[in-house]
Amino acid sequence: MFDTGGVTASPSPSFLNAGPDPGTNPGTDPGSVIRRLSELIRPVTFAREQTLPVLEPLAPLLADGALTRGSLLRVCGIGATSLALSLMAAGSRDGSWSAVIGLPELGLVAAAEHGLVLDRLALIDAPPTRRSAELIAAVLDGVDLVLLDARMMLSGAESRRIAARLRERGSVLIMVEPVCSMAPVIALSQTSRTRTSTARTSMSQAAGGWSPDVVLTVAGSQWQGLGEGHGTLRRRRVRIDAVGRGRAARPRQLEVLLPADQGSVDVID
């Protein structure tokens, strides 16, 4: 665990063993630990592929059946953190580094249960507001999959700069909002053209100045496993609504088990 001027990072064992550069003092710069992490893993994360894989049950939610590099996703609703972690799982197993910025309630056990490889995961405390944009940009320099607490406050200009850095570096940024800040972004009874226009406006308004490429809303959560008044919560059935821009503009809807009996996510038989 590193605490540098209000920025705390819990990197993987390989990063801990690497140690700081000779002659440097990590405590003098709140972003030094993050930059060091990015420098160490950049050779691992550099790739020519235009997408990062997702678990098969979640592929129908995305236009390419995968996460497009340089894209911004917003995930909201009860179960949003579980969905975001599940979206990162396949890429993590495939060799990509991942990072979580903020979300102090998230622990390593939950990350592991959703399929993330802990040796390539960094948990980073939310920094002071004045350093948030700098921290996020530094992480995007070297990490493929970044999960961001949507409660972190950024200006519109900072959001646009981070979005530009995201496209330049080819990472994927997933904003997590445990409670949706507005009503569902689409009404399925609307015409296709009106529905898409409404969704685009709602996406921008709901994301606090960000302009996400895809918005995933978790709804209709129903736990199963208690039986007749006793037992153990084993799985949760959820509905996920997806809408986006460009090739992702067509609204999509999917029901899955999140988590399933064995954790992570699974299709409904």
Task: Name the one residue in this structure whose structure tokens are 């993050």.
Answer: 34
pLDDT tens across 216-255, in order? 999 877 776 665 555 556 678 889 999 998 888 889 999 9
CB 67 within 8 A of CB 172: yes
Q: By C-alpha distance, which of 124, 144, 123 is closest to 134? A: 124
Topology classification of domain 2-267 = Rossmann fold (3.40.50)
Q: At what angle do helices 32-45 and 132-140 cross, to 10 degrees?
A: 20
* 261: Cβ contacts below 8 Å, ≥ 6 apart: 234, 235
Residue 101 structure tokens: 């910025």
Burial 161-195 (b: 16+ CB within 10 A, else e): ebbebbeebbbbbbbbbbebeeebbbeeeeeeeeb
Contact yes or no for 26/20 (Cβ under 8 A): yes
Evaluate if residue 19 carries a pLDDT over 90. Answer: no
CB 35 within 8 A of CB 50: no
Could you tell me the residue ranges of all domains in the chain? 2-267
Tokens for 176?
Answer: 């997590």
Give pTM, 2 decimals. Answer: 0.77
pLDDT greater than 60 at residue 182 = no
pLDDT in tens, 109-126: 989 999 999 999 999 998
Please say whether the beta carbons of 265 and 58 come within 8 A: yes
Residues 35/44, Cβ–Cβ less than 8 Å:
no
Strand, helix or coil for residue 202: helix
